[in-house]
Amino acid sequence: MAVSLCSLRTRSADQCCYPRLTVSTEGERLGAKLLLGGIAMTAAFRAMLVVGIAAFLGGCAVGRSVVPLDQSRVFENPISGTPVKITSIEDARIFELAPKDPSTPSLQDGEIGNSAITARAFARKRGGFGKAFGDILLPEGQTVAGVMEDSIGNGFRKAGYRVLQPGDQGYEQAIAVDAWVRQYWTWVNFGFWALTVHCRVEVDLKGNLPALGGGLTIPAEVSEDMQAVFEEDWQRIAAKGRDRVSENVAQTLADKPKPR
């Protein structure tokens, strides 16, 4: 059986893109069928792979996205309770240019020095082999610090504290609480059959409250397995992380002594 391979780049009618086979015996005919069948299977596999990658990338654009979070429910202040005020909240997250761990905040185009961007960033897209794609930002006018302030305030309210705002009666006398956002990031890890989207949060709280002592760290993490990630998935997981912080703040404070 003689075999001659033609160029894969040819497209003219008189040239082929598969091996050209010349057979003369029954055994050679069988061998030719097996060879051509293997080539067809390889082509089919490649086609399926291309379709799968296209489906994944079609579900989530690879560039930068702007995604709002659903408005968190604002809990009402209890009728009575220790009054507090969140006087400062700092976005203390550390961004890296090309982190090995996808849970470390990073930005496309190396914009980690641009505080106007980092203040709104909460996620980074990645490909199947871990290649970093575009980042995901909150809309202009919204910041991670603002999202966390609402979440922390809800946690205090659920724990029985009254969270006052400037202009509220008794605001000046309320106990000041300062907060630092150490982590608020959403990322994806790829498995063999599925992928997992995570959101990790960590905030530090300080204030002249027995419950806070010399300072309190509140961690939170949520995750969800799925087949492909769309913008609404990033939105949902990030919102779950935000709400989990509120729950953890409330539970932690409820287990601590309150001022008399």
Mean pLDDT of the chain: 81
Classify 157 as helix, strand or coil: helix
Looking at residue 40, its amino acid is: A
C-alpha 56/C-alpha 190 separation (Å) is: 12
What's residue 153's pLDDT? 96
What is the mean predicted confidence (pLDDT) over 12-29?
43
Say what the pTM is: 0.75
What is the mean predicted confidence (pLDDT) over 211-226?
94
Q: Look at 228 and 91; give whichever has higher pLDDT.
A: 91
- Percent of the residues in the chain that have a pLDDT greater than 70, as a whole number: 75
Per DSSP (E only), the strands in the chain are 2-4, 20-22, 65-66, 83-91, 121-126, 132-137, 162-163, 175-190, 195-207, 216-226
| pLDDT level of residue 70 (50, 70, 90 thresholds) | confident
pLDDT at 57 over 60: no
pLDDT at 13 over 90: no
What's residue 51's pLDDT? 35
Q: CB of 86 within 8 A of CB of 177?
A: yes
CATH of region 65-254, choose from 3.40.50.10610, 3.40.140.10, 3.90.1570.10, 3.30.70.3450? 3.40.50.10610
What's residue 166's pLDDT? 95
What's residue 192's pLDDT? 77
pLDDT at 37 over 70: no
| pLDDT level of residue 15 (50, 70, 90 thresholds) | very low
Q: Residues of CATH 3.40.50.10610 domain(s) within the chain?
A: 65-254
What is the mean predicted confidence (pLDDT) over 20-34?
47
What is the mean predicted confidence (pLDDT) over 93-120?
93
Q: How far is CA 25 from CA 3, 22, 32, in A?
A: 14, 10, 10
> What are 184-216's pLDDT values in tens digits?
999 999 887 788 999 999 999 999 999 998 899
What's residue 193's pLDDT? 79
Q: CB of 64 within 8 A of CB of 141?
A: no
